[in-house]
Chains A and B, each alone.
Chain A
Amino acid sequence: MSDPAPRKWEHRLRITLWVLIVPPTSWAAHFLFSYLWAAISCAKTGHFATMPWLFIGGTVLALAVIALAGWVAWHQSRTPGDPPPHQESTRIDRLRFLATATLLLAALSTVGVIFTALPVVFLRECT
């Protein structure tokens, strides 16, 4: 029995360990970006802008990357297969595991990015 050729690109893209680390890496990058942005804008202007466009942009970008990884993972986690326990390491089991793990990491990273970004809404002074 041969697989029918996948039609959509999110099915064609195979989830690997590389995709798995995209959401947490995006969260980490956003975290670093937040600190750099706060330090640099404080050093330059001494206060937080009422509408920090650069920061909003960075946050939206991080969330978009995470959402994309999560969306692909969600599609692939629905690849048909048996429920656990898995005694043999088949390609399908491996894919389903990686996809589910990526999906969960994407959810966690979304919360992480939002919680990191929230304080900026409330900050006005640098000191």
Chain B
Amino acid sequence: MRYAILLACLLAAACNTHQSALAPFGVEAGETRTLTLVMALAALGLAAITFALYFRAVRAPEGSLSHKGGMKLVLWMGAIVPTVLLAGLLLYALPAMRPMDSAPGDLEIRVEGEQFWWRVIYNPQDTQGRLVDANEIRIPTGRTVVFTLAAHDVVHSFWIPGLAGKMDMIPGRENRLVVKATKPGRYRGVCAELCGLAHALMAFEVVAMEPVAFDSWLAEQRTGTAAPPKDSRGARLFAREGCGACHAIRGTEHTGQIGPDLTRYAHRRSLGAGTLEPTLTNTAAFIRAPQDLKPGARMPTYTDLSREEALAIARYLKGRE
């Protein structure tokens, strides 16, 4: 009993609605959950029938079944019925292998896995509508979205458990994942392929929005919201330390591509690809010593910066000057 309670507690600890294939917010994940349930129930049913047959066979008195009757039982219950049932389940499961259909006008989002963060590009083909962001993906509900998945360094895997199955990101290749979200909300995705030291700290936030809200959000981002003040202490330090060699901030001279785009950093819900709360103090601490907070992170340490200077940069990035 004690073990049963312990087990129940352990299992319950995994219950959540923001990162779970059992709490779907997308069409594919919903279908996969139904499929899993049907398969599990069918397996339970088959096991129950088999046990019932065993139970009967063991308790039946000797000679209660003739040789011919026994052969018939083996033929039907051992071969024909299982084959037909398994064929039925197979036919029921196979259509789930089909990728979702997409049309030319569907929103395309290119996601590139990097050690150990995510580059997100909305409308990558369209020079006007292109929008670069990092570590957060916004999608409209009720519309088909095509993810183009790529990588440059090593193999990563893109997995939003509540939305769809995972898909690998392979250097030198582009994989497509077509999805459709159904329920607005904030969810979480992760890297599902061991990709290095900080692999376990490589997550991202997924925001499913009502289509209208999404459209106005994207339009607003494109036309460029007010750029952060260029002439503040934080801005000067950011430029002086050469952060712009790796980080881009739209509307400034910083256009680095090696690290995450920091334009929308103030709006992000996480720091270091889902590792920490993006508070001012955490951000400042991360800037001075990324390795301490996210071992393996590919950003140099800036211990020369005083705490106070790092805070100034953090304030600048958070748009709080």
**CB atoms of A122 and B90 under 8 A apart:** no
With contact pairs A115-B87, A115-B90 given, residues A124 and B175 touching in the complex (Cβ less than 8 Å)? no
**CB atoms of A122 and B97 under 8 A apart:** yes
**CB atoms of B90 and A123 under 8 A apart:** no
Q: Does A127 contact B (CB under 8 A)?
A: yes
Give min CB distance, A73 to chain B, whole Å.
16
Which B251-277 residues sit within 8 Å CB-CB of chain A? none
Task: Fill in one digit per residue for A110-127: 1 if any B CB lies within 8 Å of its CB, else 0.
Answer: 010011001101111101
CA distance A78 to B242 in the complex (A): 88
Q: Does A28 contact B (CB under 8 A)?
A: no
Task: Fill in one digit per residue for A83-115: 1 if any B CB lies within 8 Å of its CB, else 0.
Answer: 100000000000000000000000100010011
Contact of A122 among B79, B83, B94 (CB under 8 A): B94
Q: Does B165 contact A (CB under 8 A)?
A: no
Task: Fill in one digit per residue for B85-97: 1 if any A CB lies within 8 Å of its CB, else 0.
Answer: 0110011001101
Query: Which single residue of chain B is at the shortest CB-CB distance from A108?
Result: B79
**CB atoms of A127 and B176 under 8 A apart:** yes
CA distance A115 to B87 in the complex (A): 7
**CB atoms of A122 and B98 under 8 A apart:** yes
* Residue ranges of B at the interface with A (Cβ–Cβ < 8 Å): 67, 79, 83, 86-87, 90-91, 94-95, 97-99, 175-176
* Residue ranges of A at the interface with B (Cβ–Cβ < 8 Å): 83, 107, 111, 114-115, 118-119, 121-125, 127
Q: 10 nearest interchain CB pairs?
A: A122-B94, A111-B83, A125-B99, A122-B95, A122-B97, A119-B94, A122-B98, A118-B90, A124-B98, A118-B94
